[in-house]
């Protein structure tokens, strides 16, 4: 028992409204229904335009992720700020492309076996692609 709890109850003159949260996703969808009046009341984007935008987004993102995949194990030349250019063997990137994991990073002070490059420090990067690059990927997959 909390001492004086009765007194606290009697002091609550103003009733507190019960907040009803909107129904969540139903388990088979990926979010709130874009056709629902609730969503449309938000006045965000036209449903059709949103669909088109999502389509463009997925196609372009897939291509970009595939380009990262093709870069795995390749020597890549990174152009960074302050006119720094370094070579390294690309390993992987994190999901929001904030860091690149590379190996054999050739710095002016020597070769760093493993390193993380912060993407905000990079201006651009370049790599070569041979015609059989997809075959290289296959070998890598089998090697793993």
Partner 1 sequence: MTDWCKKTPLEWKDYVNKEVKVTSDEKNEHQGWVLTVDPVTANIVLVNFLEDSKMSVTVVMGHAVQKVDILDEGNDEVKERLTYLFMPEEMKTFSTEDLEKRKNNLKSWLEQNHIPVTEQGDAQRTLCVAGVLTIDPPYGPENCSSSNEIILSRVQALIQSALTH
Q: Which residues bind partner 1 (CB under 8 A)?
A: 28-30, 49, 52-53, 56-57, 59-61, 63-64, 66-67, 69-71, 79, 81, 83, 96-97, 119-120, 122-131, 134-135, 138
Q: Exposure pattern of 21-41 as b/e (b: 16+ CB <10 Å)?
A: eeeeeeeeeeeeeeeeeebee
For residue 132, give both structure tokens: 């059989």
Cβ nearer to partner 1, comparing 44 with 111: 44
In the complex, what is the shortest distance from the CB of residue 47 to partner 1, in angstroms, rounded to a whole number?
15
Q: Which is nearer to partner 1, 23 or 55 (CB)?
A: 55
Reduce the secondary structure of 64-103 to three states and give it as a string. HHHHHHHHCCCEEEEEECCCEEEEEEEEEECCCCCEEEEE
Q: How far is the CB of 67 from partner 1 (least distance, A)?
A: 5
Please say which residue, 36 or 79, places its beta carbon nearer to partner 1. 79
């Amino acid at each position: 028992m909390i001492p004086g709890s009765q007194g606290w109850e009697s002091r609550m003159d103003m009733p507190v409204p019960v907040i009803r949260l909107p129904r969540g996703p139903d388990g088979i969808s990926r979010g709130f229904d874009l056709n629902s009046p609730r969503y449309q009341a938000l006045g965000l984007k036209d449903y059709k335009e949103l669909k088109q935008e999502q389509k463009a987004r997925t196609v372009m993102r897939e291509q970009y992720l595939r380009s990262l995949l093709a870069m795995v194990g390749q020597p890549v030349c990174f152009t960074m700020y302050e006119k720094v250019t370094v070579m390294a063997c690309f390993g992987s990137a994190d999901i929001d492309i904030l860091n690149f994991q590379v190996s054999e990073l050739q710095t002016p002070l020597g070769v760093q076996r493993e390193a993380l490059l912060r993407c905000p420090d990079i201006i651009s990067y370049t790599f070569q692609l041979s015609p059989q690059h997809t075959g290289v990927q296959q070998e890598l997959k089998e090697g793993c």
